[in-house]
Amino acid sequence: MELQSIQAETNSESAETQPTEPTLTKDELFEILKNQRRRDALHFLKENEGTVKLSDMSEYIAAKENGIDIKALSSSQRKRVYIGLYQCHLPKMASFGVIDFDKDRGTIALRPAAKLLDSYLNDEPSVDDSNREFRMGAAAVVALFVAAGLAGAPVLSALPAAGWAIVSTISLLVFAASEALEI
């Protein structure tokens, strides 16, 4: 009987010591990322090798929010961000296991679960964004040609108004379909 209880304890201890991959549900991911201050906090942590002081983070975020240099911040601008981070944002992120937040020391450190947010924090435009810019530019060019043709610009006025209506309708349909299909 003793042997069975020792084996059971050993099995439960070994199961507890095995590292598990961090996970977050979609709801948790969205809850963390829905606020700009939390996204800025994560960005600041990543820029500073994963460990920062709350005062430094507060200054960085306050300067960003106010569009000014850190040296130009007023104490009320710093304090407003500091309190929001201290009371709301950092405890919430800590509760999801994304950071360690020591309120007494004012230190914040990234945890392994923060890597799950990396793909959502990428500031570089995606391929779809650059394609969207191209489509919008092409639509603007077509709109200019249609307007110039309807206004009677030389060469373009050779096409009657009904022709320009057809050209603009077809162009509109092509752009709408490419936007819907994200081509």
Architecture of domain 26-122: Orthogonal Bundle (1.10)
Q: Could you give the 3-state DSSP secondary structure of residue 51? A: strand
The closest alpha carbon to 142, from 177, 181, 170, belongs to: 170
Query: pLDDT value at position 15?
Result: 47
Say what the pLDDT of residue 88 is.
Answer: 95
Residue-range domain boundaries for the chain: 26-122, 130-181
158, 115 Cβ separation under 8 angstroms: no
pLDDT attached to residue 119: 85
How do the pLDDT tens digits run along the chain, 183 residues long? Answer: 444 444 444 444 444 555 567 788 989 999 999 999 999 999 999 999 999 999 999 999 999 999 999 999 999 999 999 999 999 999 999 999 999 999 999 999 999 999 989 888 876 444 455 667 777 787 788 788 777 777 888 777 788 878 878 888 888 788 778 777 765
Q: Which residue has the tokens 């040609």?
A: 145
Long-range contacts of 115-122 (CB under 8 A, 24+ apart): 115/22, 116/22, 116/23, 116/24, 116/29, 117/24, 117/29, 117/32, 117/33, 117/42, 120/29, 120/33, 121/33, 121/39, 121/42, 121/43, 121/46
CA dist 71 and 12 (Å) reads: 54
Provide the token pair at 173: 């349909």
